[in-house]
């Protein structure tokens, strides 16, 4: 039997918790009956209006911070695209038909994003459980004088609390501490956001490849580990050496975060400078290895570099302890470029020339360089991930570079980020 069709609009309308739906511009587009009852508003007063136009702060309350706190939560939802749960908020509600009159209200809000097919936020579901009765019956706040309730109701609320002043005092203290923790949490979030924005701006500057803009046949992807600060120690680079020669490179510094990103920036710049002076990738990697030995954070870094000669149609490559680049043919043949591999940077005390190897290519072939986050998984041998990569390339090598790059991330299960950082370069030769 087929499952019955569900009228989700009807379900939403009668859901017992108060809900409203917002656009990314914070315009109210839908509201359920429970929300109308909790706020005493009508659909006409809410639908189509900017949220903070219909729910402003109470001007008579010097400590009102409902707009500031709710807006901060909603902005986090839009930026991070994940649910944000707020502490209990005192957020007074305007009394319908009585301009300037507000009713004291406490809420427990949760804001949840609804993502579209592109992964961007299409709507925000705002759920606000009404905590006013809970707060007032426990005497956690003085009974409001502007809410329309009389002294008899206040006395009844006091009797309902029960248990004596000691319990009420403890509950009041807990409520106060929760508010203090929320304020501190907001400050920490703001500090984290500033640090993150600074780190991302720094990393973007360090990864700038001016020559990349002239290569429509090259696609790059850069994905920090899903749980990191959104900066990482992996890198990529594209450098034009002449009108018919260019080089591509990827590297992987041990670790994550700001320290690894700083080391990455130094090594990437050093290799980019070296290859401009020394076109042979093996010799350029020698220079980088010597440089890596001068500071501890660079030791054990892996890197792979390939120089593409479009006139002679060959690739010269070298690897310092890095997963091998891959050359895929249009017929599905896949070749691992693993004939010029040496230990990671800075680990060999005796200075020995690093090997390099050359392989021919034909127009339409695809060269892929990547870091180990693309293929390595904690619960399996790295060869399994490498086979997954080569099998995917064999089946999809006819795709354009951008489409192929996205397909690789999807098929290898890291389109939304993985446990490790990822840098990926796809070159259509």
Structure tokens at 53: 């136009």
182 lies in the same domain as 213: no
- How far apart, in whole angstroms, are the C-alpha atoms of residue 183 and residue 189? 10
What is residue 249's predicted lDDT score, i.e. its pLDDT?
Answer: 93
Residue 285 inside a domain? The answer is: yes
CATH number at residue 94: 3.30.450.20
Please check whether residues 230 and 321 belong to one and the same domain. Answer: yes
Q: pLDDT at position 349, please?
A: 61
CA–CA distance, 182 with 200 (Å, rounded to integer)? 26
Residues 155 and 222 in one domain: no
pLDDT string in tens for the chain (429-residue length): 566 788 888 999 999 999 999 999 999 999 999 999 999 989 999 999 999 999 999 999 888 888 988 999 999 999 888 888 888 888 998 888 888 899 988 888 899 999 988 888 999 999 998 888 877 776 444 444 444 444 444 444 444 444 455 555 555 555 555 666 666 667 776 766 766 666 666 666 667 788 888 999 999 998 877 555 566 778 899 999 999 999 999 998 887 666 777 788 788 888 888 888 887 888 888 888 888 888 777 788 899 999 999 999 999 999 999 999 999 999 999 999 999 988 888 776 656 788 999 999 999 999 999 999 999 888 888 899 999 999 999 999 999 999 999 999 999 988 877 778 889 999 999
204 within some domain: no
Q: End of a domain among 136, 166, 198?
A: 198
Last residue of a domain, one of 198, 221, 238: 198
**3 in a structural domain:** no
Contact 28, 20 (CB under 8 A): yes
**For residue 108, which of 38, 157, 159 has the smallest C-alpha distance?**
38
Number of structural domains in the chain: 2
Q: What tokens appear for 95 in the block?
A: 């009394």
Write the burial class of residue 155 (CB in 10 Å: 0-12 exposed, 13-18 middle, 19+ buried): exposed
Residue 309, token pair as written in the block: 């000669």
pTM: 0.58
Q: For residue 178, what pLDDT is reported?
A: 62
Q: Which two tokens stand for residue 37?
A: 């009852």
Alpha carbon distances (Å) from 376 to 196, 345, 372, 410, 426: 26, 20, 6, 15, 18
Cβ neighbors of 391 (< 8 A, separation 6 or more) are none
| Residues 99 and 237 reside in one and the same domain | no
**pLDDT, position 196:** 65
Pairing of strands 314-320, 341-342: parallel
Same domain, 281 and 141: no
78 falls within a domain: yes
Q: Which residues contact 347 (CB under 8 A, 6 or more apart)?
A: 299, 300, 321
User: 17 with 124, same domain?
Assistant: yes
Q: What CATH number corresponds to the domain at position 273?
A: 3.60.40.10
pLDDT at 149: 43
One domain for residues 79 and 159? yes
Q: What is the pLDDT of residue 140?
A: 46
Same domain flag for 169 and 247:
no
Which of 168, 198, 228 lies at the terminal end of a domain, its last residue? 198
Please state, in angstroms and rounded to a whole number, the distance separating the CA atoms of residues 27 and 111: 14
The alpha carbons of the chain give a radius of gyration, in whole angstroms, of: 30
The pLDDT score that the predictor gives to residue 74 is 94
Beta 341-342 vs 28-31: how paired, if at all?
unpaired
Distance CA 196, CA 199 (A): 5
- Residue 272 shares a structural domain with residue 416: yes
297 by DSSP, 3-state: which?
helix
Q: Rounded to whole angstroms, how far apart are CA atoms 26 and 71?
A: 9
Q: What is the DSSP letter of 137?
A: H
291 with 390, same domain: the answer is yes
Residue 164 covered by a domain: yes
Do residues 121 and 215 share a domain? no
Range of the domain at 188: 8-198
d(CA 135, CA 230): 40
Judgement on whether residues 188 and 221 belong to the same structural domain of the protein: no
203 assigned to some structural domain: no
In a domain, 69, yes or no: yes
């Amino acid at each position: 039997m087929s499952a019955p069709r569900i009228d989700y609009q009807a379900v939403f309308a009668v859901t017992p918790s108060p809900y409203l739906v917002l656009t990314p511009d914070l315009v109210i587009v839908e509201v359920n009956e429970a929300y109308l009852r909790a706020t005493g508003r009508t659909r006409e007063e809410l639908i189509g209006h900017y949220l903070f136009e219909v729910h402003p702060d109470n001007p008579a309350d010097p400590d009102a911070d409902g707009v500031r706190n709710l807006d901060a939560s909603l902005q986090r939802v839009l930026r991070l695209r994940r649910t944000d749960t707020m502490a209990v908020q005192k957020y007074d509600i305007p009394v319908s038909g009585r301009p300037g009159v507000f009713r004291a209200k406490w809420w427990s809000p949760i804001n949840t994003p609804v993502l579209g097919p592109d992964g961007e936020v299409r709507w925000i579901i705002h759920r606000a459980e009404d905590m006013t009765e809970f707060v007032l019956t426990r005497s956690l706040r003085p009974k409001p004088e502007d809410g329309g309730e009389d002294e008899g109701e206040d006395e009844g609320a006091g009797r309902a609390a029960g248990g004596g002043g000691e319990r009420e005092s403890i509950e009041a203290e807990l409520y106060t501490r929760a508010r203090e923790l929320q304020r501190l949490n907001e400050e920490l979030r703001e500090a984290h956001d500033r640090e993150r924005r600074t780190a991302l701006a720094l990393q973007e500057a360090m990864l700038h490849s001016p020559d990349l803009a002239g290569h429509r046949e090259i696609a790059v992807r850069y994905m920090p580990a899903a749980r990191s600060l959104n900066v990482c120690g992996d890198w990529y680079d594209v450098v034009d050496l002449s009108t018919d020669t260019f080089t591509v490179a990827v590297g992987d510094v041990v670790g994550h975060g700001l320290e690894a990103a700083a080391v990455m920036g130094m090594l990437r710049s050093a290799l980019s400078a070296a290859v401009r002076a020394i076109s042979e990738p093996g010799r350029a990697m020698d220079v980088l290895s010597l440089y890596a030995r001068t500071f501890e954070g660079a030791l054990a870094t892996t890197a792979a570099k390939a120089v593409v000669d479009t006139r002679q149609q060959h690739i010269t490559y070298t690897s310092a302890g890095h997963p091998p680049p891959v050359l895929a043919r249009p017929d599905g043949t896949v070749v691992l470029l693993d004939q010029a591999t040496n230990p990671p940077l800075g680990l060999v005390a005796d200075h020995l020339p690093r090997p390099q190897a050359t392989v021919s290519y034909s127009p339409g072939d695809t060269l892929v360089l990547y870091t180990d986050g693309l293929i390595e998984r904690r619960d399996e041998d790295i060869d399994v991930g490498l086979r997954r990569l080569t099998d995917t390339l064999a089946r999809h090598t006819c795709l354009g570079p951008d489409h192929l790059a996205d397909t690789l991330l999807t098929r290898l299960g890291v389109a939304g980020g993985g446990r490790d950082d990822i840098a990926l370069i796809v070159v259509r030769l």
